[in-house]
Amino acid sequence: MTVEDFTHAAADFPEPFRLLIRDSVESTNDEARVLAQAGAADGLIVMAEQQTAGRGRRGAAWFSPTGESLAFSILLRPDESKALWPRLALAAGLAVAEAVEQFGPQAGIKWPNDIWIGNRKAAGILVEAGSDFAVVGIGLNVNTTRFPPAVADIATSLRIETSQVFSRADVLGAIIGKFARRRQQIGHEFEELIAAVRVRCVLTGKSVSLSTVSGPRAGIVEGIAPGGELLLRTESGLERLIQADDVRLRPA
């Protein structure tokens, strides 16, 4: 297998982003966290050709075959209040969706952290916070054509959707270019960010079930609130959910 050269893409990253590539790590989020605790500056991107213990939300395994996908984490030291850092998941999701659309397919956002092409998942976002930093983990299926049986029916990739092979370096460059702008909008320009997320929200108008810290919920999604919360109409009224796990569509 030929190892792709990311030098040209990294050279075009906007400030302050810079790329560190590891051949193999357990998790790029964990690697970025260690570097953050050692004093690494805002904008460091840790990418791995292979993750041996990549994970999504709730510790679920993330499938990222060597040389076919993108698995990377961005270290940030935001100026905004820590209360706004959860919005980074929406900023990253929107950046990935916009980058995907540069290469052809229309992308949807499944609040709060998944990117869909059609009705299948192409990317996932995992944001984790430290004392004075945040790590934004992104996994995107680029040229993958085969998935494990457990996710084969719900996963897709750019290659599957377009029948084309893509430069992962070009895709990474597009994502970082979009994210450089969107990360700046979690504060005073959040209305613009949310407007772009709303038009891509695949859950609006759908019946869903989900898990929250206070228990399971089920209802109809009415949209996304100005603060980024999911608006869920349940039997007891309209709820605003800041975070949720395992969001699933229910049969109509």
**Domain match, 165 and 64 both:** yes
Has residue 111 been placed in a domain? yes
Based on the fold, state whether residues 56 and 123 are members of the same structural domain: yes
Query: Based on the domain organization, do 81 and 24 belong to the same domain?
Result: yes
pTM of whole model > 0.75? yes
Domain annotation covers residue 68: yes
Same domain, 138 and 236: no
The pLDDT of residue 213 is 87
Lowest mean pLDDT among 49-63, 83-97, 127-141: 49-63
Domain membership of residue 193 (yes or no) is yes
Tens digit of pLDDT for each residue in 139-159?
A: 999 999 999 898 889 999 999
Residues 80 and 166 in one domain: yes
What DSSP letter does each residue of 93-119 carry, written as one string? HHHHHHHHHHTS--EEEETTTEEEETT
- pLDDT: is 131 or 112 the higher one? 131
Q: What is the pLDDT of residue 66?
A: 75
pLDDT score at 1 = 44
Indicate the pLDDT class of residue 31, thresholds 50, 70 and 90.
very high
Of residues 212 and 117, which shows the higher confidence score? 117
In a domain, 238, yes or no: yes
Are residues 103 and 211 both part of a single domain?
A: no
228 lies in which domain range? 207-249
CA dihedral 221, 224, 229, 230 (to 10 degrees): 10
Question: Could you tell me if 173 and 213 lie in one domain?
Answer: no
CATH number at residue 85: 3.30.930.10
Total domains, the chain:
2
On average, the pLDDT of the chain sits at 92
The answer to whether residue 66 sits within a structural domain is yes
CATH at 243:
2.30.30.100
List the Cα angle 168/179/25 in 5-degree steps: 50
Which residue blocks in the chain are alpha helix, DSSP H? 7-11, 28-37, 87-102, 158-162, 168-182, 190-198
1 found inside a domain: no
Binned at pLDDT 50, 70 and 90, residue 167 comes out as very high
Work out the burial of residue 157: count CB atoms within 10 Å of its CB; fewer than 13 is exposed, 13-18 middle, 19 or more buried: buried
Model confidence over 171-223: pLDDT tens digits?
Answer: 999 999 999 999 999 999 999 999 999 999 999 999 999 998 889 999 999 99
